Amino acid sequence: MSRTEPADVKSTGVKTADVKTADLAPLVRPGAVAIIGASADPTRIGGRPIAYMLRAGFQGAILPVNPNRAEVQGLASYPSVAALPQVPDVAVVAVPGAAALQAVEELGARGTRFAVMFTAGYAEVGEVAAQEALLAAARRHGMRLLGPNCLGLFNAAAGFYPIFTASLEGGLPLPGRIGIASQSGAYGTHLFAACRARGIGTGMLITTGNEADLSVADAIGWMTRDDGLDVIMAYVEGVQDGPAFAAALADARRARKPVILMKVGRSAVGSAAAQSHTASIAGNDAIFSAVVAEHGAIRARSTEELIDIAYAATRRIYPVPNTLGVITISGGAGVLISDAAEGVGLPMPPMPEDAQARLKAILPIASPRNPVDCTAQAFNDLSLIGRFTESMIAEGGYSSILAFFTQIGGAPSMAPAIRAQLNAVKARHPDRLYALSVLASEERNREYEADGYLLYEDPARAVVALDAMGRLGASFSEAEPAAPGTMAAVALPETTPSEAEAKRLLAAAGIATVPEAACPDAEAAVAAAEALGFPVVMKILSPDILHKTEIGGVLLDVADAGAVRSGYATLLERAARHAPSARIEGVLVARQIKGAVECIMGIQRDPVFGPVAMVGLGGVFVEVMRDVVFRRCPFGEDVAEAMIRSIRAAPLLLGARGRPPCDVAALARMLARLSVLAVQAGPDLAAIDLNPVLALPDGAYAADAVIEIGAAP
């Protein structure tokens, strides 16, 4: 688990701003590095770091440790850590098992600040005790560990390569300002190599392996602070320290550094594979996605998409609002691009009517709406490209431009003129984001990229990347949310309460519930029903029967006193038959509310991120469509309202189909208070389930409530 500074959890839970990731300056830019288990063979694990650093011209001291050699790859070798002529800032540990533990002890005693643990065979294969012993040895001396079971790292700017990947045999990284943080060494180096193959530079790679100490959050946090990096790519299998991970994403957003990540382990099989690989817990995927979205990071679905988006982010243009203008020489390509834009929700508003008329006057056969199709006539008059593109920006106001020119963009007879046309427009509008879909030689592509254009052979991929730039821009420009509210302490019972007791706790937290009464006998139930007004709802009341509908423990539309008496007997009989050992406290009689929109709210204590709130519409929307949103607790009413409005079925709350709009502010108030209660209640609270919550034009009420005490489910 990542070591972080203590967080303030007195009243509102872990504050993301209070969680600090590690200072990795000595790790990525050391004055001296030792290689424990150094090899004279540059192809072996203990030899590759030396060979790579010598090739890259690392200016620090390289100190091989090998008791069997006086010289390793032309460098003086030392028999032990104690024999080293200076204290290394960083040591690579490339020896097995017991020797690795001894090396950590000796390095710590010498004052080494970081150990990069290539050694495997720890928690990833069930050897948790061995990993804990390794960490304990490091902590005794204040030394930090990267790994174990990691591939290492590199910092290209420093020529520092304590890594044993074979990817560097194909060449050192191209110059670039992308950092890669990866729990998987092989996948992290795969990303670097894939970027290099596409001509994309990477400045830093940190692989974290088992994360006994330093985590991918620490790597992201450091890359956020590194002035040599602008964009962060991350590969995540599981998160052990949720607050630290969220803090790293929050810091990156404040620094306007995009984090584009892949998180695997969505499926049961993938989750099990992640745990066996780096001893990670994949966790609840929907909650992870919510945390990523909360902090403005982008979650990619594939390696290609991850690199596409990171590549686009290197331009550092994040348009707000983001609208897409498309210029093409092919009507068919325009349709494809339009479909892709609709699929990701990227707006493509039409050109203004008067601008369309002017374009038609220039080229009567043009399709000037958006996409703007200048047709094959561009072969005869390349100035159409410049004139039409200028109109799209100056009159259409599009913030992102995607041009589909296919082979003509690479044709030797046409490409220079096309570049000149586009560059003239770009010089007048340098704040726009420009992407081209062309088929050209590598040399021609480099020319376009040097001019500042993004290149994608598949225009649909370009659409995804351009949309991501707009989402990043919206996130970077977002105001900080209002602080969550506070509330007086609410004492939880020691065991799971009945519904009536649960609602008393909710009421103490300011959460409105449906008017009701707990009734110990049938006559009390009749009196309560008459006071509340018919019809009423009757429910069995027991701390041992939380899901009442499963035993027939709920009666609706109870219309009169006789029905109340018979209903009381029916509920007791059903409880005795289906749950004979349950403690029965009576029956709950509640006012039946008609005409409401049924919603669902809840809290679950996630083992990684702590208490998380959920809201959605009830019924088929939650059971079939899974139309719910999540958010880490606590949060204020502004965030709660944004969550509610982001539900796909939110129009049903806002007055669709002629219905009166519901009181969304009341729903948001309830959700925000629930989030504060979840944190204030502390770790004994496992879950809260409000289902349904009845949303009305004037107010919102929890009609059913379950509060679970104890370990999170």
- Name the pLDDT band for 618 (thresholds 50, 70, 90): confident
- Name the pLDDT band for 488 (thresholds 50, 70, 90): confident
Give residue 540's Cα distance to chain centre: 42
- CA contacts within 13 A on the Cβ side of 479: 5
Distance CA 487, CA 64 (A): 60
Q: Is the Cα dihedral 303, 309, 312, 315 positive or negative?
A: negative
Residues of the chain with pLDDT > 70: what percent? 94
Q: Is 641 helix (H, G, I), strand (E, B) or coil?
A: helix
Q: What is the largest CA-CA distance in the chain?
A: 99
- 475-486 mean pLDDT: 90
Distance CA 138, CA 136 (A): 5
- 130-155 mean pLDDT: 98
Cα–Cα separations (whole angstroms), residue 187 to 126, 197, 355: 22, 15, 49
Same fold, 324-477 and 516-591: no
Q: Residue ranges of the domains in the chain?
A: 16-313, 324-477, 516-591, 597-709
Distance CA 589, CA 556 (A): 10
Res 19: pLDDT: 62
- Give the contacts of 481 (CB within 8 A, at least 6 positions apart): 635, 636, 638, 639
Q: Is the pLDDT of residue 600 over 60?
A: yes
- 100-110 mean pLDDT: 98
DSSP state of 231: E
Res 267: pLDDT: 55
Locate the DSSP E strands across 472-627: 516-519, 536-541, 554-558, 586-591, 597-606, 610-617
Res 546: pLDDT: 87
- 220-240 mean pLDDT: 97
Res 657: pLDDT: 79
> Out of 3.40.50.2300, 3.60.20.10, 3.40.50.2000, 3.40.50.261, which CATH number does the structure's domain 324-477 have?
3.40.50.261
229 contacts 199 by C-beta, under 8 angstroms? no
- 136-160 mean pLDDT: 98
- Name the pLDDT band for 281 (thresholds 50, 70, 90): very low
Res 490: pLDDT: 83
Q: Which residues pair with 695 in a beta bridge?
A: 597, 700
- 431-445 mean pLDDT: 97
Res 295: pLDDT: 97
- 572-584 mean pLDDT: 96
Distance CA 583, CA 243 (A): 39
Classify 516-591 by CATH class. alpha beta
Q: Please compute Rg for the chain using Cα positions.
A: 31
Distance CA 688, CA 24 (A): 40
For 237, the token pair is 């299998």
- 145-169 mean pLDDT: 98
The residue type of 164 is: F
pLDDT tens across 366-415, in order? 999 999 999 999 889 999 999 999 999 999 999 999 999 999 999 999 99
Res 7: pLDDT: 29
Report which secondary-structure segment, H or E, holds 247. Answer: helix 242-254
Res 277: pLDDT: 37
- Tell me which residue has tokens 């427009």: 425
pLDDT tens across 454-464, in order? 999 999 999 99
> Out of 3.40.50.2000, 3.40.50.970, 3.30.470.20, 3.30.1480.10, which CATH number does the structure's domain 597-709 have?
3.30.470.20
Res 483: pLDDT: 87
Question: Both ends of the chain: CA-CA distance in Å?
Answer: 22
CA–CA–CA angle 383, 385, 389 (5° rounding): 125
Q: Which architecture does CATH list for 16-313? A: 3-Layer(aba) Sandwich (3.40)
- 234-246 mean pLDDT: 95
Res 373: pLDDT: 95
CA–CA–CA angle 228, 234, 239 (5° rounding): 125
CA–CA–CA angle 190, 196, 201 (5° rounding): 115
Res 388: pLDDT: 97
Cα–Cα separations (whole angstroms), residue 394 to 321, 375, 389: 16, 21, 9
78 contacts 90 by C-beta, under 8 angstroms? no
- 95-99 mean pLDDT: 93
CA–CA–CA angle 192, 197, 201 (5° rounding): 55
Res 86: pLDDT: 98
- Of the ranges 162-176, 261-275, 623-637, the best mean pLDDT one: 162-176
Res 278: pLDDT: 35
pLDDT tens across 178-219, in order? 999 999 999 999 999 999 999 999 999 999 999 999 999 999
Closest CA to 116 of 54, 44, 205, 42: 205
- Of the ranges 257-271, 555-569, 605-619, 654-668, the best mean pLDDT one: 555-569
For 484, the token pair is 């969550």
Q: Is the pLDDT of residue 273 over 70?
A: no
Q: Is the pLDDT of residue 270 over 70?
A: no
Q: Is the pLDDT of residue 627 over 90?
A: no
Res 418: pLDDT: 96
Q: Which range has the worst mean pLDDT, 134-148, 281-295, 469-483?
A: 281-295
H helix runs in 429-560, sequence order: 442-451, 459-477, 499-508, 522-532
CA–CA–CA angle 483, 238, 270 (5° rounding): 130
293 contacts 474 by C-beta, under 8 angstroms? no
Residues of the chain with pLDDT > 90: what percent? 88
Closest CA to 694 of 545, 591, 551, 587: 591
Q: Is the pLDDT of residue 60 over 80?
A: yes
CA–CA–CA angle 443, 445, 449 (5° rounding): 120
- Give the contacts of 379 (CB within 8 A, at least 6 positions apart): 408, 414
| Average pLDDT, rounded, for the chain | 93
For residue 375, how many other CB atoms are within 10 A of its CB? 15
- Name the pLDDT band for 6 (thresholds 50, 70, 90): very low
Closest CA to 5 of 210, 292, 243, 238: 243
